[in-house]
Amino acid sequence: MSRGSTGRGRALWFLLFWAIVGVASYVLGVRNVVGQRAEESVLDAAEFTFTPPPPLNLVSIPTVAIALVVVGVIAWVSHGFRRALVVTAIPALAILAAQLLKLRLLTRPELFELDAANTFPSGHMTVFAAITAALIWAVPSRVRAFVALGGAALIAAVGWQLLAYGWHRPSDVYGGIALAVAGFAFAALIRPPTSRGGTSLGRSIAVGLAIVGWVCVGGAGVLVGIAVGSDNSALMLTAGEFGGVGAGALAARTMLLLGSRRSA
């Protein structure tokens, strides 16, 4: 089997996985009465603020534009113009898609007495996840795994803040991550990226991210079960936060593996 076929097979798997995550988040969290009630309990337990600390408060049109330019320059120097184009275009499209989906295409039905506007997917989460994914592909191969590790921490921190400060529901966070990563997986399916040189500790860090991701996701599932049984909103919030940590680790692992195919 050729390297291109292997790369496309991996990209297809990740595209399907993150598409399922995104669709399931919407169906279970937004279009389902049980999910809506559970997520409202998360908002009830959050401590809302208009002035969150970094990194959440760093999002603005100028800062996003600057970040994309910086990522593009890094990619151009490290891998060439084509990679630079990819890592700037996909985040921009993902961010626009998040707004289009949230404001125009997707709806949040009023399944119980609380009437709330649709917030799926989270625009802030999409911004951070997409730019983090772009940076993982942009940097030189030898440091990609370490950037993926830092990226996982950043996505987890932003997801935690979005829930803790009541800006979004868990499904919004997971949907934003899924949208960003699925965009890169689709690009890799069309043309698998290649790397100049090897990735230091790539396999070890990929395994570590997988372990952290699935342990956090599993732990979040256990906490949801306990929270439902005890009607504990604070525990439901914690479950959502740990789910975000797990999703962040798995997203960073996806980008690391998609970008680690060496050129012939």
pLDDT tier at 262, thresholds 50, 70, 90: low
pLDDT at 248 > cutoff 50 = yes
pLDDT tier at 4, thresholds 50, 70, 90: low
Average pLDDT, the chain: 93
- Give this prediction's pTM: 0.95
pLDDT for 113 equals 66
Name residue, tokens 């399907």. Answer: 16
| Average of per-residue pLDDT across 185-201 | 86
Joined together, the tokens standing for residue 220 give 């979040």
pLDDT for 12 equals 96
The terminus-to-terminus CA distance of the chain in angstroms comes to 14
Joined together, the tokens standing for residue 243 give 């789910």
Q: Give 13-36 pLDDT, tens digit per residue.
A: 999 999 999 999 999 999 999 999
Amino acid at 121: P
pLDDT for 223 equals 97
pLDDT for 40 equals 93
As a whole number of angstroms, the distance between CA 88 and CA 135 comes to 10
Phi-psi region of 231 (alpha: psi -120 to 50; beta: other; left: phi over 0): left
pLDDT tier at 264, thresholds 50, 70, 90: very low
pLDDT for 200 equals 86
Spatial neighbors of 106 by CB under 8 A, at least 6 apart, are 26, 30, 118, 120
pLDDT tier at 199, thresholds 50, 70, 90: confident
Domain-wise residue ranges, the chain: 3-258
As a whole number of angstroms, the distance between CA 143 and CA 139 comes to 7
Q: Give 126-165 pLDDT, tens digit per residue.
A: 999 999 999 999 999 999 999 999 999 999 999 999 999 9
